[in-house]
Structure 1
C-alpha cells in the first residue's frame, strides 16, 4: 500500500524515496495502464508546484494521451510538434523554462509556464514520453531532470 513520504531530508533523499515508492507500486504488476496511472499520481503528489503530470504513448505514428493527473489534455500530438513531439523525435529530455518562448508550443493548459518532457525508451524503441508541467517559469532544474530520467527509465521497463 502506498504511504505518503514527508518532505523532510535533503532533496536528493526525497527523490530516492520517490523512486523506492515507484518500484514498490510497480512490483509484480503486469498492467501497463495501472503502472502508468500510479506513476502519474506519484509524480503529481511528489512534485510541488506542478499542474500536470502524465504520459503520452507512441502508437507508431504519433503520441496519444495516456494516464495523467491534471486538467484534460490534448489527445494526439504529432511527432516534432510542441515540447512532447520534439522530445520524442530527438529522443532526449527537454527542459523548457518558458513554454511561451518554445516554437510550436502546444498549450493544453493556459496555466502552464514551464515543462519537462522525458522520452520513454526501451531497447532503443520509443514507447512515449513523460510530461510534467508547472505554472512557475523555470521550475525544473538539472537535479530534478536527472531524477525524472531515472523515474522514466523505471517506468519504461514495465510498459
Structure 2
C-alpha cells in the first residue's frame, strides 16, 4: 500500500482538518504503536513548516523513552520531573513553549530548537507518552497549532485501541 500526502491549503484550522483526515487514513486499521508513531511523525514532520523534530516518547512506567521520530538524534530517557516533555507527561496538559531557553529545566537535545509543543498521550487514566514537536523558530506554535496537534494526538491514541 502506498500513501500520498496531499498539500495543505486554506486557513490554519482548515489545514489541520486536512492533516487530521490524512492521519486517520494513515492509521486506519493499524494498532501497532511503533508503526503508527513512525508514520505519524514522518507525516507531520513533512506536512508542517518550520519543524526540526517531531516524535514520540513512550512512558515505561517510570520515565519517558524515545520512540519513533523525525529529526536529529534525541535524548533517550526523560524523567517526568524534567523538561517540557516531563511537564506534559506529569501534568497531563499540553505544554506550548514559545522560548524553550526560558523554560525551567529545559532539556536541550537539539541546540537549534527554540520553541516546543508537547501533547500528552493519555488513554483513559493511563499515560501512554507524549507527542513532541520542536521548531528552530521562537514562538512557532500558537493556539491553532495546539488544537490541531491535540486532535492528531487523540487520533493516535484512538488507533491503539
Q: Would you call these one fold, judging by a TM-score over 0.5?
A: yes
* Alignment pair present for 1:75 and 2:76: yes
Provide, for residues 47-93 of structure 1, a one-character-per-residue CA deviation record: whole Å limited to 9, x for no partner.
Answer: 10000000000000000000000000000000010000011000000
Using the TM superposition, give the Cα deviation of residue 13 of structure 1 relative to its aligned residue in structure 2, in angstroms. 1.6
Q: What TM-score do you get using the length of structure 2 for normalisation?
A: 0.96
Secondary structure of the residue aligned to 1:133 is strand
TM-score (norm 1): 0.97
Shift of 1:31: 1.6
Secondary structure of the corresponding residue to residue 23 of structure 1? helix
CA distance in 2, matches of 1:48, 1:109: 18
Q: CA RMSD in A?
A: 0.9
Q: What is the CA distance between 1:101 and its match in structure 2?
A: 0.5
Q: In the alignment, which residue of structure 1 is the partner of 2:54?
A: 53
- Kept in 2, the 8 Å contact 1:2–1:21? The answer is no
* Mapping of residues 9-158 of structure 1, within 5 Å: 9-158=10-159
Alpha-carbon distance in 2 for matches of 1:94, 1:107:
16
> Could you list the runs of 4 or more consecutive aligned residues of structure 1 that deviate by over 3 angstroms after TM superposition?
none
Q: CA deviation at 1:158?
A: 2.0
Query: For residues 130 and 113 of structure 1, what CA distance do their matches in structure 2 show?
Result: 17
Larger mean Cα displacement after TM superposition, 6-15 or 24-33: 6-15
- Give the Cα separation in 2 of the matches to 1:6 and 1:59: 36
Q: Take 2:132 and 2:51, find their aligned partners in 1: how far apart are those partners?
A: 11
- SS of residue matched to 1:138: coil
Looking at structure 2, the residues matched to 145 and 30 of structure 1 have their Cα atoms a distance apart, in angstroms, of 24
Q: How many residues align?
A: 159
| 1:110 to partner: Cα distance | 0.5
Matched residue SS, 1:104? coil
User: Which structure 1 residue ranges, 5 or more long, are not aligned?
Assistant: none
